[in-house]
């Protein structure tokens, strides 16, 4: 029936719609719905009825007994003429079209052409009816959800739709059906704001670690026991691990033995050999992740009580003995696995004891080494620093359908809070459930002591490796574009100089580090929290045991793996600090404080706010000079866009 040339006035199917054959030749000329005509090939149409059909207007709805016809044919095969006769008692162009519409609908009948039409079984009809009812219900639910969103609310059953918005807010997808249907931009910031507006997320949901793809779960690998190996007994030397009060993994300590400085460093390389499961996990992480909510460690948490310094009466360490001349030069280096007895001190406690021994001598040595490096071009940027910390929830509250699974993969449950509360949030901010503290980091002299001792240890490590031809991940930095060095008296000068600095890089061959004023430098004092420090320790440990060390190519592989993840890690930390700082401002909407003018631009000025660690741009009246102080008040906070605005 579909193979012969349709006659003039026949009813045919063209692209799913009825058409009347007006001219039948090599090309058919068809009358289409809407009064249009179209020339097509005969194979492009399906003959439904030979006619005559004078006009498509004749194809009016027909009355017939569809149910009885289906019951008679259920599971059987028929043709379009037979089906039309059975339902409508006649096979005419109108009944042919009406019967074909039933076939196209697919509930009771189905078929690709009029010659073979299959009547569905009762089970098939029931299944189709159920699917169609579900589809209608889904469309109604979707429409109701969109209406609720436009009204600014959602209900529990909307969870499956809200996940679409959460996925975009967390960077897991670049598209959102919900936002598209609402006519909103499909951007992570817009998704974040939508979730806040709906009350699905509260301001304490930090999306940035997840959005940047960093690992937010603690490593979960078994640790081997400490090996039974010779260690030098240095327990007779008073050793001090000087850290911030919140530090949970002290990994370095200092001692003074006559004219020799000992820098004791935690010794994870003794149980983490290259390419072991723990090493591979640490390599994939690159470093520990430090968030205001807490720390995600590079090594399994069980490593802290086993290896951190000062948590037990006696601690294992890799100790760097450095002989220093009166001019601050390194005269001799000894590196040895050791046992040490470490006392923990805060920077504040150590600063209060700088007039005592051995702290006074340690501080003088640190200054001597710093002076020597500064003479070689080293510099110190003295810009204000803050420590942003987050307390546990103050009270329960809605935090999204995933119970904060969207916040760095359920960070509330996995991150141990670090912070102590120093100010209650405003009661006007009803959605906040965690208290944020922003603590100014004081420029204590004890920090100078520790910083320069650690730099000296890194210089000694590099020199030790170069002299013994041990491949290392050397930390390098090209010179700044500016010849001027800030003297510490001008925040504006320090701010401007910071913009001229080149990014530090790792290389497998030694190269100068201009910022430190050193010809060669290897970071080696934080092997529990920086992977390349661990690699440096693995190299030193292998050399000391007389075992093969990694070659330069293997070092470069590890450098590449670290650099592949460390950028996202540091960005997650920076954005998280900004996020929680803005949450702090939401909790304290009447905040006021001092800002320092550090740069003038064409219309606005950059103001550094020491108490918040922010550098907003704002328009100031009166053309204040650089380094002048202005009184500021917060005027607007846009949390999803990490934007805070202030007025003078």
| Structure confidence by residue, pLDDT tens digits, 221-263 | 999 999 999 999 999 999 999 999 889 999 999 999 988 999 9
Q: What is the CA radius of gyration of the chain?
A: 37
Q: List residues bridging with 507 in a β-sheet.
A: 474
Contact 389, 420 (CB under 8 A): yes
Average pLDDT over residues 1-18: 86
Predicted confidence at residue 397, as pLDDT, reads 39
**pLDDT exceeds 80 at position 89:** yes
Predicted confidence at residue 3, as pLDDT, reads 52
Contact 496, 409 (CB under 8 A): no
Average pLDDT over residues 367-374: 96
**pLDDT exceeds 90 at position 484:** no
Find the helix packing angle between 66-73 and 80-88, rounded to 10°.
130
Contact 605, 597 (CB under 8 A): yes
pLDDT tens sequence across 334-370: 999 999 999 999 999 999 999 999 999 999 999 999 9
**pLDDT exceeds 90 at position 395:** no
Rounded mean pLDDT of the chain?
91
Predicted confidence at residue 622, as pLDDT, reads 81
**pLDDT exceeds 80 at position 396:** no
DSSP readout, 293-327? TEEE-SS-TTHHHHHSTTSSSSEEEEEEEEEE-TT
Predicted confidence at residue 488, as pLDDT, reads 72
| DSSP 8-state class, residue 406 | T
Full strand arrangement of the beta sheet holding 315-324: 232-233, 330-340, 315-324, 260-265, 252-257, 239-243, 342-346
Predicted confidence at residue 486, as pLDDT, reads 75
Counting residues of the chain whose pLDDT is more than 90, the rounded percentage is 85
**Residue 387 — very low, low, confident or very high, per pLDDT cuts 50/70/90?**
very high
Give the C-alpha separation, 308 to 301, whole Å: 11
Predicted confidence at residue 433, as pLDDT, reads 61
**Residue 434 — very low, low, confident or very high, per pLDDT cuts 50/70/90?**
confident
Q: How many CB atoms lie within 10 A of CB 488?
A: 14
Give the C-alpha separation, 504 to 476, whole Å: 6
| DSSP 8-state class, residue 614 | B
| DSSP 8-state class, residue 130 | H
Average pLDDT over residues 98-125: 96
The model carries a pTM of 0.84
> Who has greater pLDDT, 330 or 392?
330
- Report which of 389, 367, 396, 365 is spatially closest to residue 380, judged by C-alpha positions: 367
**Residue 430 — very low, low, confident or very high, per pLDDT cuts 50/70/90?**
very low
Predicted confidence at residue 410, as pLDDT, reads 37
> Who has greater pLDDT, 430 or 283?
283
Residue 351: alpha-carbon gap to chain centroid = 37
372: three-class secondary structure by DSSP: helix
* The dihedral formed by the CA atoms of 137, 142, 148 and 149, expressed in degrees to the nearest 10: 170
- Report which of 89, 100, 102, 121 is spatially closest to residue 45, judged by C-alpha positions: 100
> Who has greater pLDDT, 603 or 18?
18
Contact 194, 179 (CB under 8 A): yes
Counting residues of the chain whose pLDDT is more than 70, the rounded percentage is 93
**What residues contact 67, with CB distance under 8 A and at least 6 apart?**
none
Give the C-alpha separation, 125 to 473, whole Å: 70
**Residue 481 — very low, low, confident or very high, per pLDDT cuts 50/70/90?**
confident
- Report which of 23, 32, 39, 84 is spatially closest to residue 55, judged by C-alpha positions: 32
**pLDDT exceeds 80 at position 385:** yes
Predicted confidence at residue 550, as pLDDT, reads 97
Predicted confidence at residue 405, as pLDDT, reads 42
pLDDT tens sequence across 183-215: 999 999 999 999 999 999 999 999 999 999 999
Give the C-alpha separation, 627 to 598, whole Å: 6
| DSSP 8-state class, residue 341 | -
Tokens representing 14 are 């063209």
Average pLDDT over residues 102-126: 95
**pLDDT exceeds 70 at position 408:** no
Contact 265, 307 (CB under 8 A): no
Strand 260-265, strand 315-324: pairing: antiparallel
**Looking at domain 124-200, does it have CATH number 1.10.10?**
yes
| DSSP 8-state class, residue 426 | P
Contact 300, 221 (CB under 8 A): yes
Omega prior to 358 cis, within 30 of 0: yes
Predicted confidence at residue 74, as pLDDT, reads 93
Degrees to nearest 5, angle at CA 111 with 108 and 113? 140
Contact 418, 443 (CB under 8 A): no
DSSP readout, 196-213? HHHTSS-TT---HHHHTT
Predicted confidence at residue 44, as pLDDT, reads 94
Query: What stretches of 151-266 show up as alpha helix (H) in DSSP?
Result: 159-169, 177-182, 188-198, 208-211
Predicted confidence at residue 393, as pLDDT, reads 58
What is the number of alpha carbons within 13 Å of residue 325 lying toward its C-beta?
7
> What phi-psi label fits residue 152: left (phi over 0), alpha (psi between -120 and 50 degrees) or beta?
left
Query: What stretches of 38-187 show up as alpha helix (H) in DSSP?
Result: 66-73, 80-88, 93-105, 122-150, 159-169, 177-182
pLDDT tens sequence across 585-610: 999 999 999 999 999 988 899 999 99
Strand 617-618, strand 629-638: pairing: unpaired
Domain ranges for the chain, please list them. 11-123, 124-200, 232-266+308-382+443-550
Predicted confidence at residue 66, as pLDDT, reads 95
**Residue 419 — very low, low, confident or very high, per pLDDT cuts 50/70/90?**
very low
């Amino acid at each position: 029936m579909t193979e012969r040339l349709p006659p003039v006035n026949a009813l045919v199917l063209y692209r799913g719609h009825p058409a009347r054959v007006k001219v039948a030749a090599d090309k058919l000329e068809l009358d289409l719905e809407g009064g249009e005509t179209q020339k097509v090939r005969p194979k492009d149409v399906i003959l439904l009825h030979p006619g005559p059909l004078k006009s498509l207007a004749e194809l009016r709805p027909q009355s017939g007994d569809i149910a009885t016809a289906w019951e008679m044919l259920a599971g059987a095969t028929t043709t379009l003429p037979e089906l039309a006769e059975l339902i409508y008692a006649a096979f005419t162009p109108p009944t042919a079209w009406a019967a074909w519409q039933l076939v196209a609908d697919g509930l009771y009948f189905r078929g690709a052409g009029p010659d073979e039409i299959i009547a569905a079984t009762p089970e098939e009809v029931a299944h189709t009816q159920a699917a169609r009812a579900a589809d209608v219900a889904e469309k109604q639910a979707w429409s109701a959800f969109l209406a609720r969103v436009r009204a600014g609310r959602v209900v529990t059953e909307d969870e499956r739709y809200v996940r679409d918005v959460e996925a975009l807010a967390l960077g897991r997808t670049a598209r959102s059906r919900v936002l598209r249907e609402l006519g909103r931009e499909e951007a992570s910031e817009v998704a974040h704001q939508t979730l806040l507006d709906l009350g699905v997320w509260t301001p304490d949901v930090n999306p940035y670690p997840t959005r940047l793809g960093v690992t937010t779960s603690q490593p979960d690998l078994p640790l081997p026991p400490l090996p039974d190996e010779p260690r030098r007994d240095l327990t007779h030397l008073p050793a001090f691990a000087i850290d911030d009060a919140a530090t949970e993994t002290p990994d370095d300590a200092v001692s003074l033995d006559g004219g020799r400085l000992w820098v004791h460093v935690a010794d994870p390389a003794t149980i983490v050999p290259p390419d072991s499961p723990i090493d591979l996990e640490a390599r994939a992480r690159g470093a520990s992740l430090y968030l205001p909510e807490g720390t995600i460690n590079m090594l399994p948490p069980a490593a802290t009580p086993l290896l951190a310094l000062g948590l037990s009466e006696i601690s294992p360490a890799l100790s760097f003995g450095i002989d220093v001349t009166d001019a601050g030069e390194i005269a001799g280096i000894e590196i040895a696995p050791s046992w040490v007895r470490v006392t923990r001190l805060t920077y504040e406690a150590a600063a209060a004891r700088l007039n005592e021994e051995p702290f006074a001598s340690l501080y003088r040595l640190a200054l001597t080494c710093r002076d020597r490096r500064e003479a070689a071009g080293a510099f110190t940027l003295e810009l204000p620093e803050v420590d942003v910390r987050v307390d546990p929830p103050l009270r329960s509250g809605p935090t999204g359908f995933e119970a904060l699974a969207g916040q760095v993969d359920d960070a509330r449950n996995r991150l141990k809070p670090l912070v102590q509360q120093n100010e209650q949030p405003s009661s006007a901010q009803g959605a906040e459930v965690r208290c944020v503290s922003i603590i100014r980091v004081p420029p204590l002299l004890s920090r100078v002591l520790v910083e320069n001792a650690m730099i000296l240890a890194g210089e000694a490590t590099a020199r030790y490796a170069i002299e013994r031809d041990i491949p290392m991940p050397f930390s390098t930095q090209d010179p700044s574009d500016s010849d001027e060095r800030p003297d510490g008296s001008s925040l504006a000068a320090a701010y401007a100089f910071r913009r001229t600095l080149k990014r530090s890089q790792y290389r497998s061959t030694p190269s100068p580090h201009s910022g430190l004023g050193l010809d060669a430098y290897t970071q080696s004092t934080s092997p529990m929290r920086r992977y390349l420090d661990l690699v440096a320790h693995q190299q030193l440990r292998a050399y000391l045991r007389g075992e093969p060390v990694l070659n330069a190519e293997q070092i470069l592989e590890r450098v590449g793996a670290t650099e592949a993840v460390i950028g996202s890690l540091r960005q997650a930390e920076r954005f998280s600090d900004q996020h929680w700082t803005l949450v702090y401002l939401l909790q304290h909407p009447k905040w006021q404080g001092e800002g320092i003018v550090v740069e003038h631009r064409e219309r606005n000025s950059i103001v550094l706010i020491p108490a918040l660690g922010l550098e907003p741009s704002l328009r100031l009246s009166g053309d204040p000079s650089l380094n002048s102080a202005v009184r500021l008040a917060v005027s607007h906070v846009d949390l999803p866009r990490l934007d805070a605005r202030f007025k003078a």
